[in-house]
Amino acid sequence: MLELLLNVGMLAQVDAGGEESGGDLVTTQIAPFESSLLLPPPVTTNASSTDVPFQFALWIGAATLLLIIGVMLYFGIRYRRRSPDQKPRQSAANDVVLQFAWTVIPFVLFMDLFYVGFRGFMDVSHVPSNAMEISVGVADSKWSFTYPDGHIDEALHVPVNKPVKLTMESDESIHSLSIPAFRLKRDVLPDKSTTAWFEATQPGEYLAMCARYCGAAHSGHWAWVVVHEQDEFEAWQEQAGGLFNRLSIEEVGEVMYTRYICNTCHSLDGTKKVGPSFKGIFGRETTLTGGLKITADEKYIRDSVLDPQAAVVEGYPPAMPAYKGQIKDRELQAIIEYLKTLQQHPALLICRFP
């Protein structure tokens, strides 16, 4: 029974032929329990692997609970002691049929549930060979998504009806990427890559969040997942990946200043935050922890981004995460060129977003 429901959800097709559609066959994901209790509407091909076992276990559990409570209430009323001198009846001998029934029936149900759950687990563990790979990182209070062309975005953009593989790694904390509409939840660990995949079936915007408490900034760990039609996704890729063609290198640096959330800890107007202000930083003499004085040149800025703990400015905590392996060379160079413009004009550029 459970296997049949799962197959209906995963394999159904809708024939949208006729005069209006020109007779074309449209394949649509038909998920069972379309109005899933406690779950958002499913929008991925493997959602049934989660929904069917969940709904099955939920309703079987609810039915079992009602049955036990009903039998308990019935026996409590039917066989209650009716007078003080009433003697209890002799208990019936062992009922082999009853014992067999309450052993075999739950065993069959649980094994059915185990089989479907295990098959679903294997399905979501096997990544299709044609999947598009996107790298997922998380630092401070932001998710970041790196695409095959090197573009980094705070939102996850994917095409519809295309398998997508996420390769994930976090900073020093343990996180968990959860996209409820996709039935996706996977831990994101420091210094260890984890993977997950999905294939979205409906364009739209969906919420991704961190499902594991990871510190004071936990509530800020969320991002939008945008599912595009294929042509719209290609247009978005062309626009998002062409920053260096459309903007000057200083303007690209300003975009990177926001994209890599430098603005969270470094101001542009001289205000002290978690880290020193970027106002007039390039060429400035800086005192490091321990008393060593250096000049903030290109090498110092580059080294401070890639390995910030190696040279911490005096009076500030060593709180900045390392961006080695996360930021591309030309993006880092663009940030350096942008910092140079802050010498005489701290607010020279107007922040742009691709």
Over the stretch 248-283, which tens digit does the pLDDT of each residue have? 888 888 888 888 888 888 988 888 888 899 988 888
Domain final residue pick, 240, 264, 279: 240
| Pairwise CA distance, residues 205 & 225, whole Å | 6
Question: Is 80 exceeded by the pLDDT of residue 36?
Answer: no
Report which of 270, 249, 267, 248 is spatially closest to residue 258, judged by C-alpha positions.
267
Are both 331 and 270 inside the same structural domain? yes
- Least confident range of 28-32, 305-309, 322-326: 28-32
- Residue % of the chain over a pLDDT of 70: 85
Is residue 87 one of the residues assigned to a domain? no
- Least confident range of 47-61, 79-93, 121-135: 79-93
Are both 288 and 214 inside the same structural domain? no
| Exposure string over 161-184, b if 16+ CB within 10 A, otherwise e | ebbbbbbbbbbebebbbbbebbbb
| Exposure string over 218-256, b if 16+ CB within 10 A, otherwise e | beebebebbbbeeeebeebbeebbebeeebeebbbbbbb
Residue 209's pLDDT is what? 92
Write out the H or E segment, with its range, that includes residue 100. Answer: helix 96-125
What are the tens digits of pLDDT across the range 211-224? Answer: 988 888 788 889 99
Question: Strand 164-170's sheet: what is its strand order?
Answer: 152-153, 142-146, 132-139, 164-170, 194-198
CATH number at residue 264: 1.10.760.10
Question: Is 60 exceeded by the pLDDT of residue 171?
Answer: yes
Are both 267 and 202 inside the same structural domain? no
Are both 25 and 61 inside the same structural domain? yes
Are both 160 and 226 inside the same structural domain? yes
Residue 230's pLDDT is what? 92
Which DSSP string do the residues of 172-239 spell out, in sequence order?
A: SS-EEEEEGGGTEEEEEBBTB-EEEEE-B-S-EEEEEEE-S--STTGGG-EEEEEEE-HHHHHHHHHH
Residue 120's pLDDT is what? 85
Are both 75 and 34 inside the same structural domain? yes
Are both 166 and 107 inside the same structural domain? no
Is residue 353 one of the residues assigned to a domain? no
Q: How many helices (H) and strands (E) does the chain have?
A: 8, 12
Is residue 49 one of the residues assigned to a domain? yes
Band of pLDDT at residue 22, cut at 50, 70 and 90: very low
Are both 105 and 64 inside the same structural domain? yes
- What is the chain's mean pLDDT, rounded? 81
Residue 23's pLDDT is what? 34
CATH number at residue 67: 1.10.287
Are both 168 and 111 inside the same structural domain? no
Domain final residue pick, 240, 274, 295: 240
State whether residue 58 is helix, strand or coil: helix
Are both 166 and 235 inside the same structural domain? yes
Is residue 350 one of the residues assigned to a domain? no
Pairing of strands 156-159, 222-228: parallel
CB neighbours (10 Å) of residue 199? 20
| Pairwise CA distance, residues 345 & 278, whole Å | 11
Question: Is 50 exceeded by the pLDDT of residue 11?
Answer: no
Are both 8 and 72 inside the same structural domain? yes
Residue 102's pLDDT is what? 87
Angle at 329 between CA 289 and CA 261, to 5 degrees: 60
Q: Which domain holds residue 332?
A: 247-341
Domain final residue pick, 221, 240, 259: 240
Residue 37's pLDDT is what? 66
Are both 271 and 196 inside the same structural domain? no
Q: pTM here?
A: 0.59
CATH number at residue 210: 2.60.40.420
Residue 94's pLDDT is what? 77
pLDDT (mean) for 187-194 = 88
Residue 28's pLDDT is what? 33
What are the tens digits of pLDDT across the range 100-137? Answer: 998 999 899 889 889 988 988 888 888 998 999 999 98
Residue 201's pLDDT is what? 94
Residue 353's pLDDT is what? 39
Is residue 281 one of the residues assigned to a domain? yes
Q: Going by C-beta distance under 8 Å and a sequence separation of 6 or more, which residues neighbour residue 319?
A: 265, 274, 275
Q: Which residue has the tokens 């003697």?
A: 87
Question: Is 70 exceeded by the pLDDT of residue 205?
Answer: yes
Residue 225's pLDDT is what? 95
Contact between 225 and 207 (Cβ < 8 Å): yes
Count: domains in the chain: 3
Residue 259's pLDDT is what? 80
pLDDT (mean) for 187-196 = 88
Question: Is 90 exceeded by the pLDDT of residue 242?
Answer: no
CB neighbours (10 Å) of residue 337? 18
pLDDT (mean) for 42-52 = 88
- Least confident range of 97-101, 162-166, 169-173: 169-173
